[in-house]
Every structure is written in structure tokens, then in C-alpha cells.
Structure 1
Amino acid sequence: MSRQQIVFNNVSFRYADDEPWVLKDVSFTIDSDQWVAIIGHNGSGKSTIAKLINGLLFPDQGEIVVHGITVNAETVWDVRKKVGMVFQNPDNQFVGTTVRDDVAFGLENRGEPREVMVERIANSLKSVRMSEYTLHEPHRLSGGQKQRVAIAGVLVIQPDVIILDEATAMLDPKGRKEIMATVNDVRAEHDLNLVTITHDLNEIIQADRVIVMNEGQVWLETEPRDLFTRENVLREIGLDVPFVAKLANQLQLVDQAWSQEPLNQKELLDALWTYNSTK
């Protein structure tokens, strides 16, 4: 069985015939169980990719295959059983008067038996640490809590792929950190494909692969550790690396004996300890 969960074959897209191409001959694959981050500046085409995966849009040219299903108007509902999306503003996704009702919505649409719904809702809310808010009104929650409920609403339908489309953009730094920690825990627990769409490179540290979009094309495919060494070229396309990577890159310029590429503060501290021990 193929490990390819999502395949883009020479995909091009524009929103109208008289408008420029948003995506131009884009090809990539995402394997099962991978966390892939798709990054790029505003207008690079990354959010359009998310909507194409879920069948909210269809390509003008090329082919998209999700879990062995070619995405088109006839297959879109089959595809959406495999793919769940969490958007930037969770308020736009809420349909229930309570957290429980909102998480139940997807299951009700699928006609799941009540006993199945009760169990899945409880498990999904537990996974995102929102069990005690079952009877709360979604709109009265904090931004981070709302996103957790939105993730639970996707998780409850048991998709193979979860897409986070700028899902932390409206949160403060603490909220962003909490949501990314929740997402990582959920992925590990449920063995999911995760696709994150973002322009914040702090959010891609734990990803397996990174696809960098620029002007509607795949500019680079690599791993986070390698990406952060390309600070100068990333700045040219409107992106900036996290502080830890900046500091490591500056140390490399000062002393070529420094060869570490830390991804987070702990790795940086460990590298500095080793580096100083050799002096």
C-alpha cells in the first residue's frame, strides 16, 4: 500500500480567468503519519493549497489525490471524510450553543448512533483538555480554548488528515504555544497526518518536513533544521527564522568551530555548554 497520503501533480489554480495564477504547476507528496508545514508570506499560495486538499476549491490544471481519491466535484464528500480543517477564526466554525453540541455537529451529519457520539465527544474533548467545558458556550471561551474546541470538532470525525490553516494567527504567544503543544499531543495519540499552514516559523520546529511557497510555486522542500540555516535567502522572500536559529547562525559567522543547528532553547543551551567545554 502506498504511503502517499496527499499528492499534488502539476497543480495550477486561479480564482478567475482574468486574474493571475495563485498556484503555478505545483507538485509535492505528503506521506502517511507525517507532519508537514507549508509556509510562505501572504499571497504565496499556501492557504489555497489547504482549500484544494479539502475540496473547497478545485484545480484549474493538474490533479490532487487524497488517500487514493482524486479530488473533484463528484468525490468531494468522500475526501472530506478523510480531511478535517481548522481555520484561523474558530468563531466561523461554531454552530452549536454549547461545546458538546458543537463537537457533536459532524457526527450528527453522518448519522452516528447516540452511544457512539457520546463516547467520541468525550474522547475528543479529553484529547484537547477541554472536558470540563462541555456545557459552556463556545463564544464565551478564550481564543486558545476556542481553537481547542475547533480541533475537537475535527478530531471527533476521525479524519486521516488534519489541516491547520493559520489556526494560531489570532492568538497571543502563550496561546500559540499551548495550541501547538495540544496539536502535537493529539497527533501522537491518534497517529494522524498533520498539515500546518503558517507564516510563523516558530510553529514548524516539530514538523517532519517543510514546504516553502513563494509566488505560487514550491520554492524549497526540506527539514526545519536545514531551513533555519538559510536565514539570508528566507529573508529575501519575506520570512524570518526564530531567535534561536538567528543566534546559532551568528555564532557560526563568529567562529567556524561552531557547527550546531539547534531548533529550540534547550538544544541551544546544550550546544553552548558543549561548545564552551571545548574551549
Structure 2
Amino acid sequence: MSTNLIEFKDVSFRYGEDQPWVLKNVSFTIDEDEWVAIIGHNGSGKSTIAKLINGLLFPQEGEILIDGKKVTEDSIWDIRKDVGMVFQNPDNQFVGATVQDDVAFGMENRGISRETMVERIESTLNAVGMKDYLLTEPHRLSGGQKQRVAIASVLAISPKVLILDEATAMLDPNGRKEIMQTVSGLQDRQGLSLITITHDLQEVVQADRVLVMNGGQIWDEAEPRKIFAKKEELREIGLDVPFVAILADALLDAGITIAHEPLNHEELLEDLWTLHSKT
């Protein structure tokens, strides 16, 4: 039975007393092993949520619980043992002279034994497909390879939650696809709770649930299919919908009825094939 791993209770935050509220009375939960995508236009508060979960920021009102522990300045180092975060630009996270040094850094700070460190370096780099780059200097890696190492560095500390804050934004489509396939596989194998903050709709449709932020509040939350069924409402708050959903609407306007709201091309083709088989 799933239990709440992350809980926001009426959380409000602003970047200064004379500044507007970035988040206002935000409440939600995220379960163990759940993949939640957080979307919204720029300034809607989604990246602020990520920083609050990781203790980079603290709310002015409300409280945040991670695995039952309240996020405070006193608890923050315990919280960060459970929460790993990968940012948009992996260069900002590199601290080691080689790939293995970088993966070892977080573990060294936590006093993990050398024997365990060696095992985790090997297992995490193998998990992200970078085991052959152990002694490579990070600056010699491609963007996708750097992001894989950044993910391995976070996984090495064995977090319960992995946050990707626009982590694929700087990659080409193939790079984004490869990273998300890697992360999805790791989540399945390691039982991670995964939070992705992204503008990439192909990432969003893979999630178990979507939180839609608008004006510092939760506009809606549901599974991706139900969210993207609200096409016009999403456009009104400045968000896009997947191309396949637009295509499905065009087919409907042409008199071709689709059985359900498709999330990808495979689902749309299957619906069309089923429809064709019945005619």
C-alpha cells in the first residue's frame, strides 16, 4: 500500500516581503514510487516547489513533510539524504576531476565507507550507461553524458526522491528520450519517487500524475490523460497540449471518432486500426 512520502500543507512562499507570492496556500501529496510531473508557465511556481522540497528554500507559511520529517533548517541535512536533485545545466553540479570523483563526492560528504563507495560508483554508472567513462574528465563528455553522470551522482546517495528540474531542457530530442528512458527504468528498479519539472510534453505523458501550476496555485491535478483532455482550458493558461491530442481533435472534426483521449502516436494508431477493423 502506497504511503505519502512528500506532503505540502498550505505552503506559501515569496522571494522578499515586498514581493508577490510565488506560491499561495499550496497543498498536495506525493506517494512512494510515484512519478509526478509538475507543469506550468514560467513564473507559475513549479521550480520553487522543487527547491522547497530539497530545502534550498523554506516556506514563509505552511509546512513541508518528507517521509514524515518536517523540513526546517535543523532537519535539512537529514532531508537531503532522502532527496536528490538534478538541474538543467549539469556543469553546475560537477565538482570532481573525473567521473568517478564526481560520483564519489556526495558519498564522501556523508561518511560512507570506501568499500560501499566503490560498489555504488560501479552500480550507478552502470545503471545510467556510463561505466566505461570512469576516469574521463567531465568537460570531455557530451550534454547527454554529463546529465547521465549527474543522475548517477545523485543516485549514489540512495535517495528516496529524485527531482529533475528541467534536466533535459538543454538536450536534443534523442538525448531527452534516452535520459527519460534511463530514469524511468531506474524508478521501476529502485522504487524511487520521481518528480519531473518540464516543458516537454512527451515527458509529462509518461508520469503517473500531473500537477498543473498557475499563478502560484494548483490549477488541477490528475493523470495525464484527464489533464490533456482539457485542451482549451490549458491553452487559456498558456500551456501547450501534445500534438497527438490536436490531431485527434482534427479527426473528430472530420467525423472520425476516437475511442479515448490518446497520449501518444501508438495509442492513436491503435484506435484508428480498431476503428478500421470494424468498418
Q: Same fold (TM over 0.5)?
A: yes
Matched, 1:239 2:206: no
Mapping of residues 96-107 of structure 1, within 5 Å:
96-107=96-107
Contact 1:202–1:241 (8 Å) recurs in 2:
no
The residue type equivalent to 1:118 in the other structure is V
Contact 1:121–1:156 (8 Å) recurs in 2:
yes
SS in structure 1 opposite 2:197?
A: strand
State the alpha-carbon separation in 1 of the partners of residues 210 and 160 from structure 2: 19
SS in structure 2 opposite 1:72?
A: coil
Deviation at 1:256, TM superposition (A): 6.5
Matched, 1:174 2:170: no
SS in structure 1 opposite 2:221?
A: strand
Deviation at 1:238, TM superposition (A): 1.3
State the alpha-carbon separation in 2 of the partners of residues 157 and 140 from structure 1: 24
Q: Which residue of 2 aligns with 1:69?
A: 69
SS in structure 1 opposite 2:261?
A: coil
SS in structure 1 opposite 2:96?
A: coil
Q: Which residue of 1 aligns with 2:128?
A: 128
Q: Percent identity?
A: 66
State the alpha-carbon separation in 2 of the partners of residues 249 and 160 from structure 1: 39
State the alpha-carbon separation in 2 of the partners of residues 187 and 111 from structure 1: 25
Q: Which residue of 2 aligns with 1:41?
A: 41
SS in structure 2 opposite 1:92?
A: helix
State the alpha-carbon separation in 1 of the partners of residues 276 and 192 from structure 2: 40
Deviation at 1:236, TM superposition (A): 1.1
Q: Which residue of 2 aligns with 1:112?
A: 112
Deviation at 1:278, TM superposition (A): 2.2
Mapping of residues 1-279 of structure 1, within 5 Å:
3-255=3-255, 257-279=257-279
Contact 1:40–1:213 (8 Å) recurs in 2:
yes
State the alpha-carbon separation in 1 of the partners of residues 175 and 197 from structure 2: 17
Contact 1:248–1:260 (8 Å) recurs in 2:
no
TM value normalised by structure 2: 0.97
State the alpha-carbon separation in 1 of the partners of residues 121 and 200 from structure 2: 31
Mind listing any 5+ residue stretches in structure 2 that lack a counterpart?
Answer: none
Change (3 A) 1:257 1:244: closer
State the alpha-carbon separation in 2 of the partners of residues 259 and 233 from structure 1: 21
Deviation at 1:259, TM superposition (A): 2.4
Deviation at 1:237, TM superposition (A): 1.2
SS in structure 2 opposite 1:30?
A: strand
Q: Deviations over 1:67-97 (max 9, x none)?
A: 1100011100010000000000000000001
**Total equivalences in the alignment:** 279
SS in structure 1 opposite 2:15?
A: coil
Deviation at 1:277, TM superposition (A): 1.8
Mind listing any 5+ residue stretches in structure 1 that lack a counterpart?
Answer: none
Which segment is superposed worse, 13-22 or 260-269? 260-269
SS in structure 1 opposite 2:72?
A: coil
Pairwise CA RMSD: 1.2
Deviation at 1:201, TM superposition (A): 1.7
Contact 2:32–2:191 (8 Å) recurs in 1:
no
Which segment is superposed worse, 197-206 or 176-185? 197-206
